[in-house]
Amino acid sequence: MTLLLDRVTFRYHRWDRPVLSSFSYEVPGEGLTILLGPNGAGKSTTMSLLAGTVEPLAGRVLLKDSALTSASREYRRHVAWLPQRVPTSRQLTAREYVAYVAWLKGENRTSVWERAGAVLDQVGLAEQSGQKTAKLSGGQLRRVGIACALAHDARVILLDEPTAGLDPHQRTVFRDLLRKVAARIPVLMSTHDIADLADEANTVSLMDRGRILHHGGTQSFLDHARPDAAPARQAESAYSVLMGLEGTS
Amino acid sequence: MIWWLRQRGALRLLPGALLAFVLGVSMTGGVEVVFPSFMGHYAMVTELSNFVSLIPSVSLIACLERRMPSVERSAIRRIDARDIMLVSGFALLVTAVAAGMSLLGSEATLVAARNNLLFCGLAIGAWPLMGHRAPLLPVFWMIQAMFLGGRSRDDPYPWVIVTEAAHVTHATVGAAAVFLAGLLSLLCFAPRTDR
């Protein structure tokens, strides 16, 4: 199952220029897809539209092959969304938080409690399940967000800049988890950090000013690198070439 | 639902506010304070328990501010409706408790019941616009009632409401009208967490 933005136009205020104009994008139906782009490219807007938290001015956001649009409850049931800043709670423990989010997605109260414990175990937070989320570190909080997605049987997971603000160790732990999750459920992750390409992404989409500049496999993205680019800097070089920041030779 | 109640503070914050209100009104009933007047108006004698009536309105805003929009906006359960029912239900419960206490003989509790309705209406009405600063409106109303609300000695302007005696009908009707307007504002203008 995959998500589709079909000729979507969106702007935040009536008097603003549209962030996206007749924009179409299809989230690949498997593996990890990275939506790469500089700040202001329209990534978070794209993610919010796909999550159904905002509605397009024109066009449709739908679950492909089902005709369910983002305005429907059924659509939102299938889509898990980890916002850029995961809100914390001083009232709820990690397990309660996961159960609460799954309950919000329409899951049954008694079943989500058991599942919340199980998915926290899967993301390596069994020991922290009784801690208030406000006391968790940034990396642990991102993993709680992944647990929320797993607890309500999402068909697609959307992660908006999940590695921002994480230290190198937390990033490594998070990437390992992401790899495991993406093997089961399609994941779309937005980022402006080229280092995130090390996540063995299946697909890379490069976005700038509301347009997709590249959409394809990771290798096809790296093929745009300058021939003289060092292997460790190929991703950076490909990014610069595609963004028009440097020539191909 | 228990997690939603816990997140909103319905199990600790709101009962705590109710208890503080009941104890506060009981302990300060009959204690009067006089503040100076400004701009040539008459000073108003104010019951200390009128200040205690601010507690429930502040706790209602604290409750609403515990929403997690970025998570709840993609929910499929009707959280908005539950939130509105929770805060309006709590405001009415506090009013009913204070009105019930007045049967024991204290007129101050009846005034507290009416003022609670007024302050809760002002706070929830202001919340969609002012967010966490919404309790400032009832506090401001209380202050202006004391400093500017005296038409003559012990005779407040009709629109003041707060410092009116318990049996004044227009004050009760005014407080109820403000509460309904606040509820309407919450229904129409509160940021949506779901659709």
3-state secondary structure chain A: CCEEEEEEEECCCCCCCCCEEEEEEECCCCCEEEEECCCCCCHHHHHHHHHCCCCCCEEEEEECCCCEECCCHHHHHHEEEECCCCCCCCCCEHHHHHHHHHHHCCCCHHHHHHHHHHHHHHCCCCCCCCCEHHHCCHHHHHHHHHHHHHHCCCCEEEEECCCCCCCHHHHHHHHHHHHHHHCCCCEEEEECCHHHHHHCCCEEEEEECCEEEEEEEHHHHHCCCCCCCCHHHHHHHHHHHHCCCCCCC
Closest CA to A60 of A112, A116, A12, A4: A4
Dist CA A185 CA A156 (whole Å): 6
The whole-number average pLDDT for the span B82-107 is: 90
Element (H, E) at B26: helix B13-28
State whether B77 and A87 contact (CB < 8 Å).
no
- pLDDT tens-place string over residues B141-173: 988 887 777 777 777 788 888 888 888 899 999
For residue B123, the model assigns a pLDDT of: 95
Looking at CATH, the fold of the domain delimited by A3-203 is given as Rossmann fold (3.40.50)
The whole-number average pLDDT for the span B20-37 is: 82
For residue A199, the model assigns a pLDDT of: 58
Most confident of A193-202, B23-32, B53-62: B53-62
For residue B70, the model assigns a pLDDT of: 79
- Amino acid letter, residue A33: T
The whole-number average pLDDT for the span B45-72 is: 88
- In chain A (249 residues long), the average pLDDT of successive 10-residue segments reads 88 85 90 90 90 88 80 84 84 92 86 89 87 88 85 86 80 83 90 74 90 89 84 83 72
Q: What's the pLDDT band for B95 if we cut at 50, 70, 90?
A: very high
For residue A198, the model assigns a pLDDT of: 60
The whole-number average pLDDT for the span B104-129 is: 90
Q: What is the mean pLDDT of chain B?
A: 86
- B75 lies within 8 A of chain A by CB: yes
pLDDT at B61 over 80: yes
User: How near does any CA of chain B get to the CA of A206, in Å?
Assistant: 25
- B68 lies within 8 A of chain A by CB: yes
State whether B74 and A53 contact (CB < 8 Å).
yes
Residue from the list B6, B77, B79 with its beta carbon closest to the beta carbon of A92: B6
- pLDDT tens-place string over residues A112-167: 888 899 889 888 888 888 999 889 888 888 888 888 888 887 889 999 888 877 77
Q: What's the pLDDT band for B195 if we cut at 50, 70, 90?
A: very low
For residue B134, the model assigns a pLDDT of: 92
Chain A interface with B: residues with Cβ < 8 Å? 51-53, 71, 73, 76-77, 79, 81, 83, 85-87, 89, 91-92, 96-97, 99-101, 103-106, 109, 148
> Which stretch of A130-134, A168-172, B24-28, B83-87 has the lowest confidence by average pLDDT?
A168-172
pLDDT at B41 over 80: no
Q: Residue B43: CB partners within 8 Å, gap ≥ 6?
A: B34, B35, B36, B37, B146, B150
- B81 lies within 8 A of chain A by CB: no
Where along chain A do its domains lie?
Answer: 3-203, 213-244
For residue B125, the model assigns a pLDDT of: 94
Query: pTM of the prediction?
Result: 0.82
The whole-number average pLDDT for the span B108-125 is: 92
The answer to whether the CB of A64 falls within 8 A of the CB of A4 is yes
Reported ipTM: the value is 0.80
For residue A162, the model assigns a pLDDT of: 83
* Residue B152, SS3 per DSSP: strand
